[in-house]
C-alpha cells in the first residue's frame, strides 16, 4: 500500500463521515452504534467493503419522515447480524484457526 492509497482512503473515509453527519440525529446515533458493533464482530472486508456506505445509502433514501427504529427494528445488533449473515467474520477466522490440528498453523 503506497502513500497515494492511504491518502485516497482517508479522502473516502472523510466523505463517508460527512454523509453520516448529514443524516438526522437519530439516524446518526444508530449508524454509529451499528458501526461499533460491526467493527467488533463484522466481516473481514468491512473497512474496504460496501457495507457501511450501503447503510448510509439506505438511511439517506428513507430518512424523510420515518424514525430509524421503524426501519430497522429495536434490536440493532440483530439487524446487523442479518446484514452480515453470509460474510466471513474475524470470529469465523479465529474459530477456524482453533479447529486446525496442532502444528498446522499457517498451512
Give pTM, 2 decimals. 0.79
pLDDT at 105: 56
Q: What is the pLDDT of residues 4-45, one digit of tens each?
A: 988 888 999 899 999 999 999 999 999 999 999 998 887 888
Predicted confidence at residue 71, as pLDDT, reads 87
Angstrom distance (rounded) from CA 47 to CA 90: 13
Whole-number Cα distances in Å, 43 to 35, 51, 105: 12, 9, 22
Other CB atoms within 10 A of residue 53 CB:
14
CA distance 93 to 74: 29
Cβ-based neighbours of 59, under 8 Å, separated by 6 or more:
23, 27, 31, 68, 71
Joined grid coordinates for residue 25:
440525529
**Confidence at 56, pLDDT banded by 50, 70, 90:** very high
Amino acid at each position: 500500500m503506497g502513500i497515494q492509497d492511504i491518502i485516497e482512503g482517508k479522502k473516502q473515509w472523510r466523505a463517508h463521515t460527512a454523509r453520516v453527519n448529514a443524516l438526522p440525529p437519530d439516524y446518526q446515533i444508530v449508524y454509529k452504534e451499528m458501526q461499533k458493533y460491526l467493527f467488533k464482530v463484522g466481516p473481514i472486508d468491512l473497512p474496504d467493503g460496501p457495507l457501511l456506505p450501503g447503510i448510509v445509502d439506505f438511511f439517506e433514501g428513507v430518512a424523510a419522515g420515518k424514525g430509524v427504529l421503524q426501519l430497522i427494528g429495536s434490536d440493532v445488533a440483530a439487524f446487523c447480524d442479518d446484514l452480515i449473515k453470509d460474510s466471513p467474520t474475524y470470529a469465523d477466522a479465529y474459530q477456524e484457526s482453533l479447529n486446525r490440528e496442532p502444528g498446522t498453523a499457517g498451512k
